[in-house]
């Protein structure tokens, strides 16, 4: 049964309780670690202390997150909360794609890994027409050329480059 306070709430309901609980828990975790992650410097003014402003920020997060949690008109989980959490978790798939990409670049090189991952992600996002897939390959090649040649971004060469002949190996490491 919904209470009068729950019925009067006009904002979106799904995920609010889970977000508030997670926010307070994460804020408390970070606040508990402030003593090991920052210092209290001798001969430094109070407001210039390296620990002061992060402590104020984290303390504010705990207090305001707690107030948000306290003021919620409901305190039970529903099916819409579960659906919302599943939707939030779907974002983690792309984090895993990125982590695999970062791990694979030092092994097979920037050029080859980019030429594999960009069309694969294009396919994963639902773009399956050949023209779009070829456009993603051209885009991947343009990104590599832009970053390595024009912007001179230093990206380590892949282990696979060690098997190339001397001059070709140097070219791949420098430009691809």
Question: Are residues 78 and 132 part of one domain?
Answer: no
Q: What is the pLDDT along the chain (176 residues), one digit of tens a residue?
A: 567 766 666 666 778 888 999 999 999 999 999 989 888 888 888 888 888 999 999 999 999 999 998 988 777 888 888 888 999 899 899 999 999 999 999 999 888 999 999 999 999 999 999 999 999 999 999 998 898 888 888 887 788 888 888 888 887 777 76
> 173: closest CA among 105, 119, 116, 118?
105
Joined together, the tokens standing for residue 108 give: 């097979």
**For the whole model, what pTM was predicted?**
0.63
Counts of helices then strands in the chain (DSSP H, E): 9, 0
Instruction: Give the structural domain span for 109.
Output: 92-175
Instruction: Quote the CA–CA distance of 107 and 159 in Å, as a whole number.
Output: 5
Q: How many domains is the chain built from?
A: 2
Which of 89, 114, 141 represents a domain boundary (last residue)? 89
158, exposed or middle or buried, with CB in 10 Å at 0-12, 13-18, 19+?
buried
DSSP one-letter string for 28-51: HHHHHTHHHHS---TT--GGG-TT
Specify the pLDDT at position 9. 65
């Amino acid at each position: 049964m919904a209470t009068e306070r729950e019925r009067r709430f006009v904002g979106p309901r799904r995920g609010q309780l889970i977000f508030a609980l997670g926010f307070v828990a994460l804020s408390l975790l970070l606040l508990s670690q402030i003593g090991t992650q920052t210092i209290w410097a001798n001969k430094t003014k109070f407001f210039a202390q390296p620990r002061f402003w992060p402590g104020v920020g984290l303390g504010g997060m705990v207090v305001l997150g707690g107030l948000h949690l306290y003021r919620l008109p409901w305190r039970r989980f529903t099916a819409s909360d579960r659906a919302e959490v599943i939707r939030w978790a779907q974002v983690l798939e792309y984090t895993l794609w990125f982590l695999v990409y970062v791990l694979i670049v030092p092994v097979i090189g920037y050029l080859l890994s980019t030429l594999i991952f960009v069309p694969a992600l294009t396919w994963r996002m639902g773009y399956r027409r050949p023209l779009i897939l070829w456009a993603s390959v051209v885009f991947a090649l343009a990104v590599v050329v832009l970053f390595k040649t024009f912007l001179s971004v230093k990206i380590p060469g892949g282990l696979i480059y060690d098997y190339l002949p001397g001059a070709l190996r140097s070219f791949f490491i420098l430009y691809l």
